[in-house]
Amino acid sequence: MKFNKYIILVIAGLLIFSCKENNGKDLAIKDANTSQQASDIEDKVSELLSKMTLEEKIGQMNQYNGFWDVTGPVPENGDQAKKYEHLRKGYVGSMLNVRGVKDVKAVQKIAVEETRLGIPLIIGFDVIHGYETLSPIPLAESASWDLEAIKKSAEVAAKEASAAGINWTFAPMVDVSRDARWGRVMEGAGEDTYLGSKIAVARVKGFQSDDLSTHYSIAACAKHFAAYGFAEAGRDYNTADVGTSTLNNIIFPPFKAAKDAGVRTFMNSFNELNGIPATGDKYLQRDILKKQWEFDGFVVSDWGSITEMIAHGYAKDGKHAAELAVNAGSDMDMESYLYVEELANLVNEGKVDPKLIDDAARRILRVKFELGLFEDPYKYLDESREKEVIGSQTIHDAVLDMAKKSIVLLKNENKLLPLKKEGQKIALIGDLAADKTSPLGSWRIAAKDETAVSVLEGLNKYTGNTVSYAKGADVSIGKNEFAFEVKINTTDTSGFDKAIQTAKQADVVVMVLGEHGFQSGEGRSRTDLGLPGVQQELLEAIYKVNKNIVLVLNNGRPLAINWADKNIPAIVEAWQLGTQSGNAIAQVLYGDYNPSGKLPMTFPRHVGQVPIYYNYKNTGRPTLPAKDIVFWSHYQDVANTPLYPFGYGLSYTTFDYANLKVSNTYGKDKKVTISVDVTNTGDVKGKEVVQLYVKDNFASITRPVRELKGFELLELKPNETKTVQLTLTEAELGFFDNQGQYLVEEGDFEVFVGGDSYADLTSKFKL
Ligand code: BGC
């Protein structure tokens, strides 16, 4: 080790010497410091490992859910008593769902002060879109295409969570998904690999910051490795059967991007992939992640996913499941209780190599050292910081900003929006319009019910108009994220009359319809993508008496809203926007914020089109060859096209694209530069996401009809023109073949530039 250190110092010296620029010098020093710290950590881990018994090492690989009232009396029997006893023996490496300084301190104290070696716990929690003060659901944030804002949002979430004693989040979820039936699309970045990879990086960097050891940064977790978003028929936990090309080109890249951004943990997934449960999949965890990608953090199982290998029909019993999981590279057992029960025997029987235990424990301890937990196990546990940070104005301001950036304007006929600020009678209709819990969305365990700003409250801050509210129909009476018995969607139409009367007297009707926050998320798959319950009937009933309707959608997934698209003049996609939801929506409706969001997922015309996505393959029969021909790739009853394509979103202004230029210098500096002039042709300031799509016309593996390969978010004043330059390099122009080799092939390429995935300003180049 000393020898290693010496070499590192010499290299560091040389690096510093060779850097003439000050900036370069600083960077070299930083790199050298980082490798020095890494090597110090390795030494410390080795020293600690040398003192640990087999059981203590296995203990590091054991994660328990929070149990008993940790600050109350000690549990005396049952599972809780066993967990407590394990904690005291040093057989627990991590806990999840223990939160708040008081509670975390109680368990950390046992680990640090009562166990033989005093190894601190790493405390995990699902900080998915905030801790107590919530930002928009991740799918909504992704609609901003604003990587800085998304990074900031993760940073703010980390700040609040860390103040509550959390030092590890089970986020970001980087599963690409093309199936809106799957409830967990709300938790990801949508359907696209390129956008998803950029967002994965932003989120990882936001959570972890540049320095994991600060008290406000927390370890991130790229999940769920792999193919969880490809569950058959969008049914959660279902089988995934995915070919090599999709796996390498669509599913893996956001994980790889997260790894390259330094994510410290991965979570495997509940699903089986091509016949092998991901938790027991050596190819995924050892061959790809740890060997090929050289990931040196640790892999946590998903909740009970080691035990679930029995139900999958892959493990014969719990002991066998533990053997399969550890051999496959799952380092930490979340709530299966199997590592702590079975691993020592498996090692003693020669079924598990002790080196694998050392490796897993080393990975976990490495991250604990990086977090600085050994220097100060109580660094996240400061009561005064907890009080000061959680729910602070700065955090509310940040989540409001993110919420506004996440809204997508889907339709705005006759400039119905923005609303006039004076003298208008507004009818506000819909259960969701007054709901203060639903906007929190799924994954909001630490947030209190009824803490979101409702649309009603948001609109009432504008006092120039009168707002009359009528519910119309219940959407839900859900209370608790885990109260599965909650009734969602009633068939009761008794509130229609009052809503109709209110609408009749109004100048404008704002209807807030869609899904309750508990209707998407884990275990919340749907077969129908329309407006749940009697909301469609309510919409049509109101339309009969007043056509001046602004439909505000609340939802955690793309919806199929054909009728609304055809008939309703203005539609605003407002997802579940978190704590500041109502304020963000009101500011957009009144034009104090000009919406600039773009859809991160295709909206279908009909659920039968799902999976529907913009980067599909052409097939051999892509277009209608002649009138009345049946034999081409289509549906008889619905068009192939989506209702709203990926990347789509309007603004209160308009943008013009011109002067597309492609300079192909690929032979020389391996770059293709694309430039385009974008002009704001309307009369208000606005932001536009300039999108670049590429088509490789002919390749040794068929390529999609187009793929997003670059984008830039820019703001333009009225009449202002900016030239945007986007660059394509090897990273954007190649693909993985079926052996997992990355290839950049010569040939003809087309580019498309514009404001959505139907961009039609086009040019060509050759490689
Ligand atoms: C989910 C994970 C989550 C874990 C812990 C599981 O059910 O699939 O994404 O991190 O629970 O809450």
Whether 64 is in the pocket of ligand 1, judged by its Cβ within 6 Å, is: no
Q: Tell me, what's the pLDDT at 11?
A: 36
Q: Tell me, what's the pLDDT at 618?
A: 96
Amino acid at the residue 149: A
Q: Tell me, what's the pLDDT at 10?
A: 33
* Crossing angle of helices 22-51 and 354-370, rounded to 10°: 130
Place of tokens 């943990």: 265
> Residue whose CA is closest, atom 8 of ligand 1?
302
Ligand 1 atom with least separation from CA of 269 = 8
Q: Which residues contact 566 (CB under 8 A, 6 or more apart)?
A: none
Whether 223 is in the pocket of ligand 1, judged by its Cβ within 6 Å, is: yes
Ligand 1 atom with least separation from CA of 97 = 12
Active site residue 302: yes
Q: Tell me, what's the pLDDT at 71?
A: 72
Name the phi and psi angles at 619, rounded to 5.
Answer: 70, 175
CA of 302 to the centre of ligand 1 (A): 6
CA of 520 to the centre of ligand 1 (A): 14
Along the chain (767 residues), what's the average pLDDT of each consecutive run of 10 residues?
Answer: 34 36 53 79 98 98 85 78 94 97 96 98 98 98 99 98 98 98 98 98 98 97 98 98 97 98 98 98 98 98 98 98 98 98 98 98 98 98 98 98 99 97 98 95 94 98 98 72 56 95 98 94 94 95 98 98 98 98 98 98 98 97 86 95 98 98 87 97 98 97 98 98 97 96 96 98 96
Q: Among 302, 330, 520, name the best residue to mutate to test ligand 1's pocket (greatest count of ligand atoms within 8 A of Cβ).
A: 302
Q: Among 126, 185, 186, 269, name the best residue to mutate to test ligand 1's pocket (greatest count of ligand atoms within 8 A of Cβ).
A: 126
Place of tokens 């996505």: 613
Q: Tell me, what's the pLDDT at 482?
A: 56
Nearest by Cα to 298 from 329, 319, 273: 329
Place of tokens 């068009």: 639
Q: Among 269, 522, 525, name the best residue to mutate to test ligand 1's pocket (greatest count of ligand atoms within 8 A of Cβ).
A: 522
Q: Tell me, what's the pLDDT at 28?
A: 58
Q: Which residues contact 509 (CB under 8 A, 6 or more apart)?
A: 426, 427, 428, 429, 503, 542, 546, 548, 549, 550
CA of 215 to the centre of ligand 1 (A): 24
Q: Tell me, what's the pLDDT at 668?
A: 82
Catalytic residue among 103, 175, 179, 302: 302
Ligand 1 atom with least separation from CA of 270 = 8
What distances in angstroms separate CA 444 from CA 447, 461, 524, one per listed residue?
Answer: 5, 26, 15
Nearest by Cα to 171 from 182, 163, 184: 184
> Residue whose CA is closest, atom 12 of ligand 1?
126
Query: Which 8-state DSSP code applies to residue 440?
Result: G
Give the total residue count for the chain: 767
Residue 446 in tokens: 């630490």
Ligand 1 atom with least separation from CA of 187 = 9
